[in-house]
Amino acid sequence: MKFEWLEDVVKTIMGPIPAVKYDKSRNRKIWFNSMVATYTGWEDERNDPVKAVTFGDGQPLPSNVVYDCLKLLEEESVAIPWQKGDVLLIDNWADLHSRKSFIPPRRVVA
C-alpha cells in the first residue's frame, strides 16, 4: 500500500494486487479482494466507486462484472443476529466480511 498526502487527507493506493490468493492451510484458492467495498456505499467527494478499482493497466472494471459480484455476495451473505455483549472473531482467509447500514449509536471496540 502506498500513501499520498493531500491537502487534508491521506489517499491510499493499493496494487495492482491479485483478486485470488492460494491458502496453503486449506489447500484451495480464495477470493481475497475488497473491490466490492467501493461499490457498496463508499462514495463521497473524494471517492468515485467507478474509478476506485481498476485493472493493472488503469482501466476501470466493467460495471456489469462488478454488479454481478455484488449480486453473488448478497445471495451468499449471512446476517449475524447481534445481541448486547456479543463478540465475533472472523478469519479473513476463510470469510469475506462486511457491514450493513445501521442506526446509530454504534460502538466499535478494537
- Residues 42-88 have pLDDT tens digits of 666 666 666 666 777 878 888 788 778 778 878 888 888 888 888 88
Amino acid, single-letter form, for residue 22: Y
Tens of pLDDT, residues 68-80: 877 887 888 888 8
For residues 87 and 8, give the distance between their C-alpha atoms in angstroms, rounded to a whole number. 34
Average pLDDT, the chain: 77
Domain ranges across the chain: 1-110
The cell numbers describing 28, all together, are 484451495
Q: Is the pTM of this model over 0.85?
A: no
The per-residue pLDDT for 15 is 67
